[in-house]
């Protein structure tokens, strides 16, 4: 019987080549798009879940309540980890991280190997997290303070085929480091990424960061804790806050609490628990489901559109004794075979587009058809396709009444075709939602790129000072001699994305509930505002004189949240014990990404905290400016490579993920709309074929092509209106939620929904025109000569 089914299926597929091609194309495209989207979703959800203790690992996030304004930090003081291990029974282990900035290259056998991306960690790192050691002891990864554990790729790059264990490297901080372990490269789906692990114990010997383990006021370290089974994270957070209050009893600490963020949430959620990447994951999952639904609807429409052509075949089979069950199995097997063919084609498509897909998505997903995850997706797709696109047509086609079907009257899929119309309304709704989403996401990305940041990022590049720090005045004077350089300034932080905050601030009129007031600090040179184009709304700012050392510039948000009355200039302000006055109020500017609201910031003059030089060029003379910088760099930093970035590039890099998401969404939206058009073609074909005799009669009675086309196409106008009524509220709700992930966002303008509706209507008209015109031009004698 199975052999007979297969013969019938392939005979039917070969007999109706056009419809078979459309069916397989639609399903293949739908499956390929859905699987690609689900692979992306799975990759995003897989972050950090490879860790054996992933469900019990948490990052500590200090939280401050400042008169109803909540601020959440990702960094903690170092001693909280030690206290957590000793004083909180629910904590099994704790680990601290500190970025290692002072080593950027190693010397080995006369070769200089540039090496960034290093961290200082506690030894517990290798037992808490699942980053296996190829060589070394995870229980005792470091022999002493100067021990290091290097990644497999670093070991290969530095030592080649030599055994790295016990080898000594000289860093650019002149310290000697001994390799005591080699770890596997950290996976792509890890929120924690670095190449070399230094012993955190080094900080105890650091001359700058003295008494690290006893300093409760220095929030500078990432801290993770491993909780015991059954531990309550909220209760642990309360105990840690109580410990902190006991060790630091100033007003600032009284408003501090500890939030425990699960490791598995780090990649997709903000520190305060709000969705960021998770919203995009949900959107892409919904789009994957929508595309698969559209492909299934497309299949249903095409199968039922062909029902009339097969009505006599089915009736004859029933007359000669075929039961409803055997017909049901025949059509179900037909759907299964079409699905399997489509699945093979979809797999081939995925293999072909995967390199381009990874490039667009900014990922490195490896497609393995036999992996459990992909097989699960295949299985779910098969189940969904058979349920949605197999069972309904099988039941419908097998339920024909033979005598009526022989006369062309098909029960169950009669002239009204209500079910199919519902399916097409769903397709139209999806199309409108996708078009609206494409426009809004594009608008948001354009809004981010073009929004006035409050400072000028064009034609400005920056680089780390290193040894230039002690020669800054001379270097600045020399660079300004170059005609292509319009300005030179420096800052202790990066203006594109700065996070250094303090709560050690005081001012006249400060309320008791403002002791946890936190403000971002930006140490700069006196001409920083002029070079970067930051505007003042009050005061004159820095003057270049001795008074600048006690002059402070606050942004508008700082003045507002501190409750300082206007005019603010001249009022007392104390920062970290240094008393001064407010010399100016800067117009709010963006110094973090636009997912976050502008927070209070204080700009002050400092020669002790220097980090980066910013060079403003004429644009056309950028190459000459870089040549001038290379000349002075070679003089003061001959051992280091000049690494510079244009602020435009840094800005774009910050929104790289958003851009990738936007491009991917646009691509998949277009493909989904294309698949919808195939479904529309199926319904139009069914409509035209079911009205062939009516068209013939109308043509004999004198109806023109325009009237016939109008007759066939007008029903779709009503369906578009119904679809728009359904889709617009859904699209508004979903996109409004998506835009909430941005503190600064574009508006949901009414015209976007109008444009989406019109575009959908045009797509429908173009799709149906060919079939309608073909039906209108057909010979009426052909359709009327048989009954």
Per-residue pLDDT reduced to its tens digit, 3-21: 665 666 666 666 667 677 7
CB of 552 closer than 8 Å to CB of 604: yes
The structure tokens listed for 239 are 């105990």
Residues 362, 415: one domain? Answer: yes
pTM here?
A: 0.81
Q: What percent of the chain has pLDDT over 70?
A: 81
User: Is residue 66 in a domain?
Assistant: yes
Give the span between the Cα atoms of 305 and 683, in whole angstroms: 6
User: Is residue 396 in a domain?
Assistant: yes
Residues in the chain: 787
What does the pLDDT average to over 330-349?
82
Q: Which among 100, 82, 105, 116 is positioned nearest to 198, based on CA atoms? A: 100
**Residue 233 pLDDT exceeds 90:** yes
User: Is residue 453 in a domain?
Assistant: no
Which of 683 and 78 is assigned the larger pLDDT?
Answer: 78
CB of 182 closer than 8 Å to CB of 152: yes
User: Is residue 446 in a domain?
Assistant: no
Residues 281, 261: one domain? Answer: no
Residues 515, 633: one domain? Answer: yes
* The last residue of a domain, from among 649, 672, 700: 649
pLDDT at 214: 85
What does the pLDDT average to over 384-393?
66
**Residue 688 pLDDT exceeds 80:** no
CB of 606 closer than 8 Å to CB of 523: yes
* The last residue of a domain, from among 239, 265, 291: 265
**Of the listed ranges 262-276, 368-382, 500-514, the one predicted with least confidence:** 368-382
Which of 469 and 785 is assigned the larger pLDDT?
Answer: 469
| Model pLDDT for residues 49-94, shown as the tens digit of each residue | 999 999 999 999 999 877 667 788 888 999 999 999 999 999 999 9
Residues 631, 764: one domain? Answer: no
Residues 164, 32: one domain? Answer: no
**89 to each of 226, 237, 497, how far by Cα in Å?**
11, 12, 38
Residues 135, 184: one domain? Answer: yes
| Model pLDDT for residues 608-658, shown as the tens digit of each residue | 888 899 999 998 889 999 999 999 999 999 888 888 999 988 888 878 878
Domain count, the chain: 3
| Model pLDDT for residues 505-537, shown as the tens digit of each residue | 889 888 877 777 888 899 999 999 999 999 999
pLDDT at 413: 44
What does the pLDDT average to over 93-105?
89
User: Is residue 197 in a domain?
Assistant: yes
Q: Which among 187, 191, 193, 156 is positioned nearest to 364, based on CA atoms? A: 187
**HEC secondary structure over 58-92:** EEEEEEEEECCEEEECCCECCHHHHHHHHHCCCEE
Which of 616 and 687 is assigned the larger pLDDT?
Answer: 616
Mean pLDDT of the chain: 83
Which of 59 and 494 is assigned the larger pLDDT?
Answer: 59
pLDDT at 362: 84
pLDDT band of residue 772 (cuts 50, 70, 90) is: low
Q: Which domain holds residue 687?
A: 2-44+277-441+656-784
What's the maximum distance between 2 C-alpha atoms anywhere in the chain? 106
Which of 322 and 542 is assigned the larger pLDDT?
Answer: 542
pLDDT at 124: 96
Residues 202, 68: one domain? Answer: yes
Q: Which range has highest mean pLDDT (37-41, 207-211, 378-382, 744-748)?
A: 37-41
Residues 520, 585: one domain? Answer: yes
User: Is residue 585 in a domain?
Assistant: yes
**Of the listed ranges 60-64, 118-122, 634-638, 708-712, the one predicted with least confidence:** 708-712
Q: Which range has highest mean pLDDT (155-159, 200-204, 294-298, 714-718)?
A: 155-159
Residues 297, 377: one domain? Answer: yes
**Residue 406 pLDDT exceeds 60:** no
User: Is residue 302 in a domain?
Assistant: yes
Distance in Å from the first CA to the final CA of the chain: 34
pLDDT at 415: 43
Q: Which range has highest mean pLDDT (204-208, 321-325, 333-337, 704-708)?
A: 333-337
**Of the listed ranges 37-41, 272-276, 328-332, 660-664, the one predicted with least confidence:** 328-332
Residues 294, 242: one domain? Answer: no
DSSP 8-state assignment for residue 50: T
pLDDT at 398: 59
Is 483 buried (19+), middle (13-18) or exposed (0-12) by CB count in 10 A?
Answer: exposed
DSSP 8-state assignment for residue 386: I
User: Is residue 449 in a domain?
Assistant: no
Residues 405, 474: one domain? Answer: no
What does the pLDDT average to over 273-284?
84
**Residue 446 pLDDT exceeds 60:** yes
DSSP string, 653-687: HHTHHHHHHHHHHHHHHHHHHHHHHHHHHHHHHHH
Residues 405, 485: one domain? Answer: no
* The last residue of a domain, from among 265, 287, 321: 265
**Residue 412 pLDDT exceeds 80:** no
CB of 291 closer than 8 Å to CB of 28: no
């Amino acid at each position: 019987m199975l052999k007979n089914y297969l013969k019938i299926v392939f005979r039917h597929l070969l007999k109706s080549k056009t419809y078979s091609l459309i069916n397989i194309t639609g399903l293949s495209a739908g499956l390929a798009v859905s699987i690609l989207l689900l692979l992306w979703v799975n990759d995003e959800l897989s972050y950090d879940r490879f860790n054996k203790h992933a469900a019990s690992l948490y990052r500590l996030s200090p939280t401050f309540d400042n008169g109803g304004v909540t601020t959440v930090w990702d960094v903690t003081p170092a001693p909280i980890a030690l206290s957590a291990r000793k004083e909180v029974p629910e904590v099994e282990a704790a680990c601290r991280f500190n970025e290692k900035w002072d080593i950027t290259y190693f010397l080995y056998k006369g070769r200089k190997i540039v090496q960034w991306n290093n961290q200082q960690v506690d030894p517990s790192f290798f037992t808490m997290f699942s980053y296996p050691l190829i060589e070394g002891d995870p229980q005792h990864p470091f022999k002493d303070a100067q021990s290091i554990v290097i990644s497999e790729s670093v070991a290969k790059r530095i030592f080649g085929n030599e055994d790295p264990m016990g080898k000594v490297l000289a860093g650019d901080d002149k310290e000697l480091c001994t390799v005591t372990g080699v770890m596997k490269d950290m996976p792509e789906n890890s929120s924690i990424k670095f190449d070399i692990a230094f012993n955190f114990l080094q900080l105890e010997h650091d001359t700058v960061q003295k008494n690290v383990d006893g300093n409760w006021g220095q929030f500078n370290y990432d801290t993770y804790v491993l909780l015991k089974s059954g531990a309550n994270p909220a209760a642990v957070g309360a105990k840690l806050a109580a410990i902190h209050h006991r060790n630091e009893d100033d007003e600032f600490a009284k408003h501090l609490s500890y939030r425990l963020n699960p490791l598995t949430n780090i990649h997709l959620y903000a520190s305060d628990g709000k969705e960021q990447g998770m919203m995009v994951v949900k959107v892409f999952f919904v789009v994957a489901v929508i595309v698969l639904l559209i492909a299934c609807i497309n299949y249903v429409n095409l199968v039922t559109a062909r029902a009339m052509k097969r009505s006599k075949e089915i009736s004859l089979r029933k007359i000669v004794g075929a039961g409803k069950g055997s017909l049901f199995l025949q059509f179900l097997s037909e759907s299964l075979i079409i699905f399997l063919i489509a699945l093979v084609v979809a797999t081939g498509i995925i293999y072909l587009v995967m390199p381009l897909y990874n490039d667009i998505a900014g990922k490195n997903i490896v497609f393995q058809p036999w992996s459990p995850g992909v097989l699960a997706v295949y299985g779910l797709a098969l189940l969904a396709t058979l349920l949605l696109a197999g069972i309904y047509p099988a039941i419908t086609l097998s339920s024909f009444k033979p005598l009526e079907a022989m006369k062309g009257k098909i029960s169950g899929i009669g002239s009204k075709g209500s079910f199919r119309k519902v399916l097409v309304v769903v397709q139209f709704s999806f199309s409108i939602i996708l078009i609206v989403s494409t426009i809004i996401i594009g608008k948001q990305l354009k809004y981010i790129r073009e929004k006035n940041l409050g400072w000028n990022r064009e034609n400005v590049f920056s680089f780390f000072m290193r040894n230039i720090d002690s020669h800054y005045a001379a270097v600045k004077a020399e660079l300004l001699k170059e005609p292509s350089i319009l300005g030179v300034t420096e800052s202790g932080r990066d203006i594109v994305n700065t996070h250094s905050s303090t709560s050690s601030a005081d001012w006249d009129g400060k309320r008791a509930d403002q002791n946890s007031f936190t403000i971002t600090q930006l140490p700069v040179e006196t001409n920083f505002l002029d070079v970067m184009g930051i505007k003042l709304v009050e005061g004159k700012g820095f003057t270049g004189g001795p008074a600048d050392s006690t002059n402070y510039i606050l942004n508008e948000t700082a003045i507002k949240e501190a409750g300082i009355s206007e005019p603010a200039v001249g009022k007392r302000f104390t920062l970290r014990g240094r008393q001064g006055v407010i010399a100016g109020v800067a117009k709010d500017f963006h110094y973090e990404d636009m997912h976050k609201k502008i927070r209070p910031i204080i700009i002050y003059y400092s020669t002790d905290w220097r980090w980066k030089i910013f060079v403003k060029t004429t644009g056309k003379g950028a190459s000459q400016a870089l040549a001038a910088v290379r000349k002075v760099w070679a003089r003061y930093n001959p051992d280091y490579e000049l690494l510079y970035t244009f602020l435009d590039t840094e800005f774009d890099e910050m929104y790289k993920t958003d851009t990738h998401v936007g491009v991917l969404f646009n691509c998949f939206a277009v493909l989904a709309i294309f698949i919808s058009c195939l479904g529309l073609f199926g319904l139009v074909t069914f409509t035209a074929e079911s009205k062939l005799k009516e068209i013939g009669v109308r043509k004999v009675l004198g109806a023109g092509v325009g009237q016939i086309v109008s007759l066939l196409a007008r029903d779709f106008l009503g369906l578009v209106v119904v679809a728009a009524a359904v889709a617009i509220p859904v699209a508004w709700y979903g996109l409004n939620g998506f835009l909430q992930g941005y503190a600064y966002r574009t508006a949901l303008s009414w015209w976007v929904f109008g444009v989406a509706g019109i575009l959908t209507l045009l797509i429908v008209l173009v799709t149906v025109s060919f079939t309608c015109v073909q039906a209108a031009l057909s010979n009426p004698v052909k359709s009327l000569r048989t009954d």
